[in-house]
Structure formats: C-alpha cells, structure tokens
Chain A
Amino acid sequence: MALLENELDSIDLESLECKNEENIILGFMDRYAVSYCEAQEIFEETKKWLYLASKSEDSVFIDKPLQIIDEMWHTFILHTRQYYDFCLTNFKKLIHHQPTPRYEKEAFELALEANPSRILKEHEESMKKQFSLIYDHLGSETLMKWYDILPNKYTTEYINSIKKA
C-alpha cells in the first residue's frame, strides 16, 4: 500500500548518518573521474538505496540502470568499519551485498531461451514490484531519478570512460 504524503515527508533521509563520509566520497573520486559534488550526490542516492533495502521484506536488486549506485556501494563496502557502523546505526542490521551466483545466471539464460514470454512476464512483475517499492518509500522523484535520469547519464560506456586506471 502506498504511503501517504505526510508519512513520506516524515522520513528524513538527510538524517542517515555516516561518520566521515568524505572518506568514501574521496575514495570514489580515486576510482572515477567525477567532481566532489557529483560523487556526493551519488553517495546520497546510495544511502537511499540502502535505506530502501532495509525497509523491504523481500530482497531488492540492482540492475543496469542503477549501475552507478552499485559502483558507489562497492566503494562504501571497502570502508568496512564505516559501512558496518552506518548500517547498524541507521537500520539496526547489516545490508549484505550479494552478487548473483553463476549457476543462477546460467539457469536464467536457459529459461529465457526455453520460454521467453514467461521470463519476460516474470521480469515485468519483478521490475514493477521494485518500482512500486521505490515509489512508496522514496517517492516519484527518486523513482524517476534512478530509472530515467541516472541511467541516461551513467551508461555502462560512460562509467567505463570515467574509470581511472
């Protein structure tokens, strides 16, 4: 069920605390050619993503449009102490990063080949469920930002082009 507007407003995402977050932002800038402001904005979206993951009863997934958030998440995880403290302080639990195992990828490819219409239908359902979750917890602006604005700018090709050696 969608949250009411006033409930959504009461979620103060800016209060998501991360001690010494500039270390993570600067760490990201060591890996990617982006400005401090840009890295800071991506970090804010990543914190929102982790907030969403903490609120969801089911697992949530990162797909291609959210790749830049995933890249920041990787940087965040490298700072283990800060990441652990961030999760426990804000969510009272640790949010695990769990890559899809190879056997699941292979099974998916086989299923897609065998029954594309069923897989596409399941994909549509899972995507719309995730869109709905984002809308309910973070609002329409975040949904548009994550699945329209960010992927238009941060394509895989662009991300690879700003990756430092």
Chain B
Amino acid sequence: MKTTTTKTNTKNNSKNDLINNLYSKYITNNVISSSDCIRCEAIGND
C-alpha cells in the first residue's frame, strides 16, 4: 500500500510538473486574445 501511494504521488508530481512547464511555454509563445485562446468548442449532444 505504501509503495502504491508513493508511486501515485510521484505520478501526480510528474503530471503537475509537465502541465506547469507546458503552460509556461504556452504563455511565452502565445498572445492571449479572444481569437487565440478560444476558437471553438466541442459539445457532445446525446
């Protein structure tokens, strides 16, 4: 159980690191404007 918890925490840390790094890169390379940040949405209708 302890091993599983450690493994899950490591996985979540690496996920958060990846997301934070990617966002830093994103915000550096993209100008935030209405036409850039949301172009279209996918909405599923049952």
Which chain A residues have a beta carbon within 8 Å of chain B's beta carbons? 2, 49-50, 52-54, 56, 59-65, 67, 70, 91-100, 104-106, 108-109, 112, 119-120, 123-124, 127-128, 131-132, 135, 140, 143-144, 147-148, 151
* Chain B residues within an 8 Å CB radius of A2: 11-12, 15
Instruction: Please determine whether A143 and B34 come into contact, CB atoms closer than 8 angstroms.
Output: no
| Chain B residues at the A interface, C-beta cutoff of 8 Å | 11-12, 15, 18-20, 22-23, 25-27, 29-30, 32-46
| A148 B42 Cβ-Cβ under 8 A | no
Main secondary structure of the interface of A (DSSP, over half): helix
In the complex, what distance in Å separates the CA atom of A127 from the CA atom of B25?
Answer: 12
Quick one: closest A residue to B27, CB to CB? A124
Quick check: A147 and B36 within 8 Å, CB to CB? Answer: no
A120 with B32: in contact, given A135-B15, A148-B25 (CB under 8 Å)?
A: yes
B36 neighbours in A (Cβ, 8 Å): 63-64
